[in-house]
Amino acid sequence: MRLESTAEEEAFRVQVRDWLEANVPRVKRPASGTELREFDLNWQRRQYEGGWAGISWPKAYGGRGLSLNEQLIWYEECARADAPVGGSMFVALAHAGPTLIARGNEPQRAFHLPRILRGEEVWCQGFSEPNAGSDLAGIKTHATIAGDLLIVNGSKIWTSYAYIADYQELLLRTDASLTRHKGLTWVICDMHTPGITIQKVATMSGTGNLCQVFYDDVKIPLVNVVGEVGDGWNVSMTTLGFERGTAFINQQIALASTVDKLLVIAKGSSALDDGAVAESLATLRAEVAALRAMTYLSVSRARAQDVPGPEGNIVAWYYAELSKKVYALAMEIVGLDGSAGLGAGRDWHTEYLDSFKNTIAGGSSQIRLNVIGERVLSLPRGR
């Protein structure tokens, strides 16, 4: 891919910058609750009305179908403008939508994709369980087929935004005679279906958005199966391929912007007088540059294939570990009261506490390293 911009791309950058300057919300994003849901849906709706929804989605499914370089320009300008990133729309835009495009049928796409882009649906993920986190193949939440219905029982955990979600990408065991990767099914679950109970899970950041979901004879129509019954492992690998590949591009670019903001804060204080802090900032600038280079390579490869490959785990692992280092240094520079002092305008303390989840969510760092070793480097499987 090209790293330099053409004149047309620079004109596109100006267009993006002007639109973001006029449209990025200037009020603080709510930390949780229905207020957060409405904030995120309104921001998505504003992007849709402005013609910026689904920038990486194919035009055939309502997206912008932007080129690789245009996507990167969009994300860079979003980071520069402090535009909202991720949040309760992340699963819908980066997981469910792309999975439906790749593996869903036309009725599923026709119903959900426009609603996601218009900011009318919040999705959550139902993969991990209390005894099957990084070991996704060990899930036990099961469903029996009764006519044209799936009857679901069990529970899922670490389900972000479940309490404000409309739908869930839900992985179930539909054949009790099979184990591990076989006999699984990926389904669309309406979160308002009777029999679903949601309990919040306390976290050290205090945002209150993680949940455990319980299913008690929950009835899901068979037409909500994505792919085929029993082929859920392959469909889920499609989903996780997006998560570990291109889904976090905006977060990765935003992390580089965060380091630049820390440098500005440090220059405006006495923080740079500490040689260790200055050295750490220089190192982090080099490391986020390396992350950006890996991101560009990952996106470039993803454009050449329908589903991202296992190489995305490299970017996901590096981003997770690096984000913890960035926010740890932020605590040194802005202090625990940074939201009211040097780093006014951002809740650095909450972002620091929240960064720890990156080395666990979507597969722990250890699991990602195993995948890199086995599927990218072709090393012998660990014992």
Can you name the residues that pair with 216 across neighbouring β-strands? 153
Q: Is 69 helix (H, G, I), strand (E, B) or coil?
A: helix
Provide the pLDDT for residue 342. 53
Provide the CA 297 distance to its chain's centre, in angstroms: 19
Give the tens place of pLDDT for each residue, 177-196: 988 889 999 999 999 999 99
What number of CA atoms fall less than 13 Å from residue 249's CA on the CB side? 28
Provide the pLDDT for residue 375. 80
Of 70-74, 122-126, 214-218, 245-249, the range with the lowest mean pLDDT is: 245-249
Q: Is 132 helix (H, G, I), strand (E, B) or coil?
A: strand
Q: Is 371 exposed, middle or buried (0-12, 13-18, 19+ CB in 10 A)?
A: buried
**Beta strands, E only, the chain:** 123-126, 142-146, 149-156, 167-173, 184-190, 196-200, 211-221, 225-226
Averaged confidence pLDDT in the chain? 88
State the Cα–Cα distance between residues 38 and 35, nearest whole angstrom. 5
Domains delineated in the chain = 7-85 (1.10.540.10), 123-232 (2.40.110.10), 245-376 (1.20.140.10)
Residue type, 32: S
User: Given pLDDT bands bounded at 50, 70 and 90, which one contains residue 132?
Assistant: confident
247 has a pLDDT exceeding 70 = no
User: Given pLDDT bands bounded at 50, 70 and 90, which one contains residue 383?
Assistant: low
User: Given pLDDT bands bounded at 50, 70 and 90, which one contains residue 96?
Assistant: very high
Can you name the residues that pair with 170 across neighbouring β-strands? 126, 187
Catalytic machinery residues: 243
Q: Mean pLDDT highest for which of 74-78, 229-233, 260-264, 316-320? A: 229-233
Q: Residue 113: phi, psi to the nearest 5?
A: -60, -45
User: Given pLDDT bands bounded at 50, 70 and 90, which one contains residue 302?
Assistant: low
State the Cα–Cα distance between residues 314 and 296, nearest whole angstrom. 13
Of 18-32, 184-198, 267-281, the range with the lowest mean pLDDT is: 267-281
Q: Is 206 helix (H, G, I), strand (E, B) or coil?
A: coil
Span 343-362, average pLDDT:
81
335 has a pLDDT exceeding 60 = yes
Of 225-234, 246-255, 368-377, the range with the lowest mean pLDDT is: 246-255
Span 259-286, average pLDDT:
90
Provide the pLDDT for residue 340. 43
User: Given pLDDT bands bounded at 50, 70 and 90, which one contains residue 148?
Assistant: very high
